Structure 1
């Protein structure tokens, strides 16, 4: 920089911008700086002058390259729930996890009142066997079977439970051993 250039910097704007003032001068100077930076191969955006033309790229999942940015990223810490659901999805365990959540979270799926009087026993091929504590509760559950299916579908997803088989309490079996004689058995002596 020569002495004349230094004197020009201290005295004011360049000669070709002398007729401008205030914000017009600032805008025009910024436009010239951007034009000069572009001609040198630099990317100039709202972030400032002189950023590299190729933004920093980071390795994403599976070796694929992705742009880094201010938003959420797969490299950020994840919650345990999202990490386990992602693992189950990748391994193909989603239906088994959903089946397990029906059996494991029964009170939160159907409600505390129903859970106090009925319990799930098994779930195979979309058929959920529910055992009620009395025949009266079994009858009540059969009447609200469609609402129960809707609650289960809302909690764990459609298609996990397609049919409910509601059974009442089982009576004790008087059969012991492999041989049996027909008849009323020990019930005829109760008096």
Structure 2
């Protein structure tokens, strides 16, 4: 055996034993970057429930306040109470002002007196809805002050003089 044969045999033996990589193996081997998402037992690798995924999606999309406003309307009976919900219902919410329409002016006045307690309860239950104040209005009734024949001032119904 010649020296070249011994050298080739020795290099093959070392390469196969993993002691000395060949030039081809050096070219084939690429440098790996440490991605946290591909490594086991790192943060973010735990499975998530569907509720967590939906919560993340709504937060990233900026839908939290809209969904909280919808929850407020849907759960109005729980937040305001059953008796109150039978006589009053939310009709609008804009710029932190919740407008609630009542069956009668008496209910509107009573709820106006309870306004701070209701606002506090709504802020506690639905913080993302952004309710800062409540306006209670009475029932829709026809007004004598509107229309094509309206008279400025007290008009024809003035019986006092």
Measured against the shorter chain, the TM-score band is 0.5 to 0.7
Q: Which runs of 5+ in 2 are unaligned?
A: 1-34
Residue 143 of structure 1 corresponds to 113
Q: Aligned match of 1:127 in 91, 97, 122?
A: 97
1-structure distance, mates of 2:57, 2:66: 13
Cα 1:159–1:101 shift into 2, 3 Å: closer
Question: Could you list the per-position Cα deviations for residues 87-128 of structure 1 after superposition, in whole angstroms to 9, with x for gaps in the alignment?
Answer: 110111111111221122211222212111100010001100
Cα 1:96–1:74 shift into 2, 3 Å: farther
State the 1:181 CA deviation: 3.7
Superposition RMSD on alpha carbons, in Å? Answer: 2.9
Residue 41 of structure 2 corresponds to 68
2-structure distance, mates of 1:126, 1:155: 15
Cα 1:154–1:125 shift into 2, 3 Å: same
Q: How does 1:3-22 map onto structure 2 within 5 Å?
A: none
Larger relative contact order (CA 8 Å, sep ≥ 6) = 2
The 4+ residue runs of structure 1 with deviation greater than 3 A are 64-67, 173-176
Cα 1:66–1:110 shift into 2, 3 Å: farther
Give the conservation status (yes or no) of the 8 Å contact 2:65–2:129: no
Question: Does 2:58 correspond to 1:85?
Answer: no
Q: Under a length normalisation based on structure 1, what TM-score does the superposition of the two structures give?
A: 0.53
Residue 172 of structure 1 corresponds to 142
Aligned residue for 2:123, secondary structure, equals helix
Q: Under a length normalisation based on structure 2, what TM-score does the superposition of the two structures give?
A: 0.62
Q: Which runs of 5+ in 1 are unaligned?
A: 1-58, 186-191
Cα 1:86–1:184 shift into 2, 3 Å: farther
Cα 1:66–1:163 shift into 2, 3 Å: farther
More strand by share: 1
